[in-house]
Amino acid sequence: MADFNSDFWHWYISILTILSILACVWLLRWMTSGYKKTDEVEDTGHVWDGDLTELNNPLPRWWLGLFYITIVFGGFYLLLYPGLGTFGGILDWTSKGSYEQEVERVEAEIGPLFARYQQTPVLDLVKDKDALKVGERLYASYCTTCHGSDARGARGYPNLRDKSWLWGGDPQSIKTTLTNGRIAAMPAWEGPLGGEAGVDEVAQYVLSLSGRATISELAEKGKAKYDIFCVACHGATGTGNTALGAPNLTDDIWLYGGSLTRISESIAKGRNGQMPAQGEFLGEAKIHLLTAYIYGLSQEN
């Protein structure tokens, strides 16, 4: 409500709301006026099933009273809380303020716990079962949607239990990823490679890097194209580059699928991935504990 760039909307909403409430009062008064307490009840003339007649009885007073109580309640509510344009209400309540109060309350309760763990090195936290239990709950709350409840990921979302890391798997690299997020882009190469035939050749060569069976003639042609278009990111031997988030092509671990069809699709159309930054949302202490938990997952095997 406070974001209006014109007073017109403030007055438009306020006047319309107040007139609507007054109209409800008038409608109730008009619909219930003129009734006299008599023994005779007006017949509307509507009859069903031969003898079921509709009568024009007034509303019971307790029912009518509820309508008036509702209107009075609405009036007091609009005085106390936001609802009339930019008027914030006597209590000055906002959803943002309520959220911030709740966050402060929770931080006051659990902040000391996270602060204690924050002073402990990640490699020591990995050995602390209690710390890992807290880290597991953090993971379940904030990470399972993308990486799965078992942390084994899905197509387009990395497996956190293996030792194949796009941006590095040491504690500091993981913490940087969680804090700042990552943006990865694989350009579409179908055009530069000369169309579908060129894509097939490079795909065959990429398969050969992980020791899989390929059509040697196509793979040989693909290597020549790889050395021109792909070597800058994935390296001459295909081991990737964690500084760029370029995956290792020799370990037979595939983020978007390792079939010939999926690899060809990645080469031809490119890929785009993003890990959202969590630093501002979670805070340094939670990030530290979550780093220890995630790092520990890849050390289990």
pLDDT digits (tens, 9 = 90+) for 71-119: 999 999 999 999 888 888 899 898 888 988 998 888 888 888 888 899 8
| pLDDT score at 38 | 62
Q: Regarding beta strands 52-55 and 43-48, do their DSSP bridges make them parallel or antiparallel, or are they unpaired? A: antiparallel
pLDDT one-digit tens code per residue, 189-237: 999 999 999 999 999 999 999 999 899 999 999 999 999 999 999 999 9
Average pLDDT over residues 14-26: 94
| pLDDT score at 228 | 96
pLDDT one-digit tens code per residue, 22-78: 999 999 888 887 666 666 777 777 888 878 888 877 778 898 899 999 999 999 999
Residue 1 has pLDDT above 50, yes or no: no
| pLDDT score at 39 | 62
Spatial separation of the C-alpha atoms in residues 237 and 235, rounded to whole Å: 5
Tokens 């899905």 correspond to 154
Q: What's the predicted TM-score (pTM) here? A: 0.70
| pLDDT score at 68 | 93
CA 229 to chain centre: 35
pLDDT one-digit tens code per residue, 250-290: 999 999 999 999 999 999 999 999 999 999 999 999 999 99
Give the orientation angle of helix 284-297 with respect to helix 95-118, to 10 degrees.
60
C-alpha distances in Å from residue 246, one per residue of 164, 187, 200, 222, 253: 11, 11, 20, 19, 13
Taken as a whole, the chain contains a residue count of 301
C-alpha distances in Å from residue 85, one per residue of 6, 10, 70, 95, 103: 11, 4, 21, 15, 27
pLDDT one-digit tens code per residue, 147-156: 999 999 999 9
Please name the residues in contact with 278: beta carbons below 8 A apart, sequence gap of 6 or more: 142, 178, 179, 181, 287
